[in-house]
Chain A
Amino acid sequence: MDFTLTEEHEALRALAAEFVDREITPNVAGWDRVERVPRELVPRLGELGFMGLTIDEADGGSGGDHLAYSLVMEELGRGDSSVRGLVSVSLGLVAKSVAAHGTPAQRERWLPGLCSGALLGCFGLTEPDTGSDAASLALRADPDGGDYLLSGSKMFITNGTWADVVLLFARTGGPGPKGITAFLVPADAPGLERTEIRGKLGLRGQPTAQLFFDEVRVGADAVLGQEGGGFSIAMSALDKGRVSVAAGSVGAARGALESALAHAGQRTQFGRPIAGFQLVQDMLADMAVETDAARLLVWRAADLVDRGLPFATEASMAKLFATETAVRAANNAMQVFGGYGYIDEYPPGKYLRDARVTTLYEGTSQIQKLIIGRALTGVSAFS
């Protein structure tokens, strides 16, 4: 087994690292304070090919495998989770679903724009009353002539106010997962209102929205996949999405570690750098080991995806461990920084605030454990 990256993977990683170091890191604290990363970043990420990784070039994508995608997500996560999240959602959840389930017309309409960064996508699954129990979602899609009328609301939608297209999950049938259908809804459709959600603990640079649908009319050509097939589209998107969140979390953990290492080497107490104190080294060692372990889980999951093998359990393992690692690493980094870590001139605070949501979204840590537990025991705790 050889963990050495190929020349192309290494060149891609180096490109992402250089972009992060030059264009993102110097601006992170400022963007966080004004609660907005610049919208112009999206087409710039598109030019680099980061918005179209794993999507066929024939569909306007940049090609590449899921390891390539994970490497870029790690670097972006090291830089700014708000930026990483833009890509995770628009590419990882939306564009990949369109590529996997879209008709030629749907792929042609949405993929070139999503992959170039000219367009941005958002993923409309969570509702005010349905989080972990997504199969009970309530937003209605009622047949009307040959069309559908969409009514209801969606909550905590990343990219919500910026998106050009919503991958929306709505109820076309009875209760439960089989009554759910996926739609590609243009964000400028009449009757669709979007409100920015403010006051987030972290990911402040990322636009997060509540979406309101008031009899929004879409044609049958807006249906992605089959009527009643929406829930499995959502779940398969989230399975892969977990690899992306996990990779971003590895980057965040690494960023926290690197900042703590630099600080520990410079900060002097009791006449010597604090890096020399055993209790500080204890924290640094934990951070380093857990970050590497998380990365190996991510690479394994990405490798399974790339080889077309089942990966859902391994993706949940990677997501569970990497996100919890990011929280612990950021918390340890703050401990190493002491009081300086508590002000936003230094990195640990933002790493901690941003990491905290990753154990909540795209499946809480508890949901990941139930997915892993179901695979281990053969018994589902959900039903």
Chain B
Amino acid sequence: MNIVVLVKQVPDTATERKLDPADSTVDRAASDGVINELDEYAIEEALLLKEKHGGEVTILSAGPDQATDSIRKALSMGADKAVHLNDAALHGSDALQTAYALAQALGTVEYDLVILGSESTDARTGVVGAALAEYLGLPQLTLANKVDIDGTSVRIQRQTDEGYDVVEATLPAVVSVVEKINEPRYPSFKLIMAAKKKPVAKLGAADAGIDTARVGLANATTEVVDFAAAPPRAAGTVVKDEGNGGVQIADYLAAKKFL
């Protein structure tokens, strides 16, 4: 069972995140880069599947030089090797272009399963998994809160607002995971030291067979028309208890789909 986990480096959500006014892309200098939180669940799930079924876990990340830090972190959680797709031509690629580039890069790796987080905390499009599956011509199983492998098939529980659907496909397949699926592990000092020696293949666009006319800001299929700083946090809702306070709170939470 060889698994590829897609890892994206994103600006730390704990810091103030900014866009570059020049081209409306993420200002990477404005905050520290960290692994997209949902991708940590994807890594953990891959490691759990590897512990059960054997094989190798490969990290695939598309990003600039500093994405190396996130790749090392993923390797220090226990992944075996990594592929780093890094090319200036990819700068400003939108979700569809990124999916295309990742699909091309996956052509350099042998895999039975691709796992990724269901969305990233910066762009939040949530479409890369689906688009990737289309480019690869593979089944997509999204929003998994449970993944089981049985021989040549994969079965997931897809989380829905009401409960979950059971979805099954033959391998190879693309699976996206939600945060309810597991509890990501911490690295350990031994794994940090071991990560230093694990192979990281560096790929440029040409190495992956990426047509540079199809990627990058100039060729993007979507455009950021305008952006503005987030408004200051609005005042909260005050519930006055006039005998039905509990009901009001429950209604509020239900309206927000917390209940």
Contact = CB atoms under 8 A, between A and B. Distances in A.
Interface of A: 7-8, 11-12, 15, 18-19, 47-50, 53, 57, 62-64, 68
A50 B187 CA distance: 11
A11 B73 contact: yes
A68 B190 CA distance: 12
Nearest to A50: B189
Contact of A62 (B72, B186, B189, B196): B189
Nearest to A64: B189
Interface residues of B, number: 12
Interface string B168-199: 00000000000000000011111011011000
Contact of B76 (A11, A19, A62): A11
Contact of A19 (B73, B186, B192, B193): B186
Q: Interface of chain A, helix or strand or loop or mixed?
A: helix
21 contacts: A7-B196, A8-B192, A8-B196, A11-B76, A11-B195, A12-B192, A15-B186, A15-B187, A15-B189, A18-B186, A47-B186, A47-B188, A48-B186, A48-B187, A49-B188, A49-B189, A49-B190, A62-B190, A63-B189, A64-B189, A64-B193
Interface in B41-64: none
B72 A53 contact: no
Nearest to B73: A11
Given A18-B186, A47-B186, 20 more contacts: A7-B72, A8-B193, A11-B187, A11-B195, A12-B192, A15-B187, A15-B192, A19-B186, A47-B188, A48-B187, A48-B189, A49-B189, A49-B190, A62-B188, A62-B189, A63-B189, A63-B190, A63-B193, A64-B189, A64-B193
Contacts of A63: 189-190, 193
A92 to B, nearest CB: 15
Contacts of A64: 189, 193
B190 A11 contact: no
Contact of A57 (B187, B188, B190): B190
A11 B186 CA distance: 11
Most buried by A among B72, B76, B187: B187
Contacts of B196: 7-8
B68 to A, nearest CB: 9
A12 B186 CA distance: 11
A12 B187 CA distance: 9
Top 4 closest pairs, chain A to chain B, by CB: A49-B189, A49-B188, A62-B189, A11-B192
B186 to A, nearest CB: 6
Contacts of B187: 11, 15, 48
A256 B187 CA distance: 27
Contacts of A53: 189
A63 B188 CA distance: 12
B39 to A, nearest CB: 16
Contacts of A12: 189, 192
Contacts of B193: 8, 63-64
Among B72, B187, B192, B195: residue with most chain A CB under 10 A: B192
Nearest to B189: A49
Contacts of B188: 15, 47-49, 62
A11 to B, nearest CB: 5
Contacts of A48: 186-189
A7 B188 CA distance: 14
Nearest to B188: A49
A47 B78 CA distance: 13
Contacts of A18: 186
